[in-house]
């Protein structure tokens, strides 16, 4: 015989009550955990604001709103303005956005994600204001307990920027990653950065010799130490140069119309604190690019013909009937960028700001 019906009923009732109690305890625990993470996020935001003010920056924002439950803790901050940086950034930097969302997933407290949203304005050094929007911008910042932020990765999709009556500039996808080491000794990377952009549409109102679309642009570079400690910018540059500091461009690549370029170089500063260095470049599509320069009037047809004749002697045929490849040494010296003995372009003088 089985147990009486009332015994079975009481058993199921106790089971349901126990299950509900477990769910209630789990829910309360999850809520407390979320509140703790959200409070830490809000405290971190307030601490960051105080640090910027102490460093001489202007950092203004509206009242933040906590949210994101149950999967994350978020802080939505309206009307953020960040301005300052001078003299470390000569002329300073200014950035504003309609709102920014800070997010920490409850499953991974070691990653802070930042989502700027709405219309944004950017001004670097003495440039004009650049207003832009994007379908999404996300910055990932790994968090290390007790350590300053040293790495960042940013990805943006469908960027549209206003550059004036000539029309907008559009970028399909852009990515930037960087890592800093303020204690890097000589010969070791103090700052590493890699960036890429694809499907770049230039303002159609301007006359672009190679066309108004850049298919791809990327670079990977490392600024090698030591990290200078002098007060003024000129003294820092001099200290960095004298201690053997270099900028290593590990890879630069450009695809623009018929032209394809890839290069690597090592750059430092000469006695006049002007960029100087050497590298190697690989170029394809150069005959078509020279023809485009001649058609647009940037150079004469005779000069383009002569350049193609000279460069043709240096080029090697591509594999399986592909376009010829030009592999040439690059030199930057006395503000002249040269391919072999041929001066390609004269570089404007780098004027260092003077600060007390």
Tens of pLDDT, residue by residue over 276-320, are 999 999 999 989 988 988 888 878 888 888 888 888 888 888 777
Residue 73 near residue 108, CB atoms below 8 Å: no
The residues, ordered by sequence, that sit 6+ positions from 173 with a Cβ below 8 Å of its Cβ are: 155, 156, 157, 197, 198, 199
| Cα–Cα distance, 62 to 79 (Å, whole number) | 6
Smallest CA-to-CA distance from 203 within 260, 259, 173, 160 is with 160
Work out the pLDDT band at 331, boundaries 50, 70, 90: very high
Average pLDDT, the chain: 86
Q: Per mean pLDDT, which range of 134-143, 246-255, 332-341 is the poorest?
A: 332-341
Question: What is the pTM for the complete model shown?
Answer: 0.85
Task: Indicate if the pLDDT at residue 211 is higher than 60.
Answer: yes
Task: Indicate if the pLDDT at residue 30 is higher than 90.
Answer: no
Dihedrals φ, ψ of 197, to 5°?
A: -145, 145
- For residue 86, the model assigns a pLDDT of 79
Work out the pLDDT band at 3, boundaries 50, 70, 90: low
| Cα–Cα distance, 291 to 270 (Å, whole number) | 35
Q: Per mean pLDDT, which range of 15-29, 104-118, 317-331 is the poorest?
A: 15-29
- For residue 316, the model assigns a pLDDT of 84
Work out the pLDDT band at 7, boundaries 50, 70, 90: very low
- For residue 254, the model assigns a pLDDT of 95
Q: Is the dihedral of CA 10, 13, 17, 19 positive or negative?
A: positive
Task: Indicate if the pLDDT at residue 154 is higher than 90.
Answer: yes
Report, as an integer, the average pLDDT of 153-178.
Answer: 94
Report, as an integer, the average pLDDT of 50-78.
Answer: 93
Report, as an integer, the average pLDDT of 54-78.
Answer: 94
- For residue 21, the model assigns a pLDDT of 56
Report, as an integer, the average pLDDT of 217-235.
Answer: 87
Residue 324 near residue 283, CB atoms below 8 Å: no
| Cα–Cα distance, 293 to 301 (Å, whole number) | 9
Work out the pLDDT band at 22, boundaries 50, 70, 90: low
């Amino acid at each position: 015989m089985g147990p009486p019906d009332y015994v079975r009923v009481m058993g199921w009732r106790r089971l349901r009550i126990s299950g509900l109690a477990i769910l209630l305890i789990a829910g309360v625990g999850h809520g407390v955990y979320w509140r703790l993470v959200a409070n830490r996020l809000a405290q971190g935001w307030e601490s960051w604001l105080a640090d910027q003010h102490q460093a001489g920056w202007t950092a203004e924002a509206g009242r933040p709103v906590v949210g994101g439950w149950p999967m994350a803790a978020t802080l939505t901050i309206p009307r953020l303005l960040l301005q300052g940086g001078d003299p470390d950034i000569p002329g300073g930097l200014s950035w504003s956005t309609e709102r920014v969302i800070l997010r920490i997933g409850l499953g991974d407290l070691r990653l802070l994600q930042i989502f700027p949203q709405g219309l944004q304005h950017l001004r670097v050094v003495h440039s004009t204001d650049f207003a832009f929007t994007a379908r999404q911008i996300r910055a990932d910042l790994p968090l290390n307990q007790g350590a300053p932020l040293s790495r960042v990765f940013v990805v943006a999709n469908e960027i549209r920027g206003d550059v004036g009556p000539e029309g907008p500039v559009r970028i399909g996808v852009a990515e930037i990653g960087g890592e800093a080491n303020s204690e890097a000794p000589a010969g070791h990377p103090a700052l590493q950065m890699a960036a890429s952009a694809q499907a770049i549409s230039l303002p159609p109102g301007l006359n672009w010799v190679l066309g108004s679309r850049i298919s791809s642009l990327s670079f990977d570079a490392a600024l090698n130490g030591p990290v200078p400690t002098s007060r003024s910018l000129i003294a820092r540059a001099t200290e960095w140069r004298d201690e053997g500091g270099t900028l290593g461009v590990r890879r630069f690549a450009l695809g623009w119309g018929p032209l394809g370029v890839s290069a690597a170089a090592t750059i430092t500063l000469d006695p006049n604190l002007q960029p100087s260095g050497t590298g190697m470049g690989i170029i394809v599509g150069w005959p078509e690019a020279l023809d485009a320069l001649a058609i647009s009037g940037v150079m004469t047809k005779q000069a383009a013909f002569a350049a193609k004749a000279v460069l043709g002697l240096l080029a090697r045929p591509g594999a399986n009937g592909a376009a010829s490849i030009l592999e040439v040494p690059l030199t930057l010296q006395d503000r002249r960028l040269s391919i072999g003995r041929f001066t390609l372009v004269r570089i404007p003088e780098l004027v260092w700001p003077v600060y007390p």
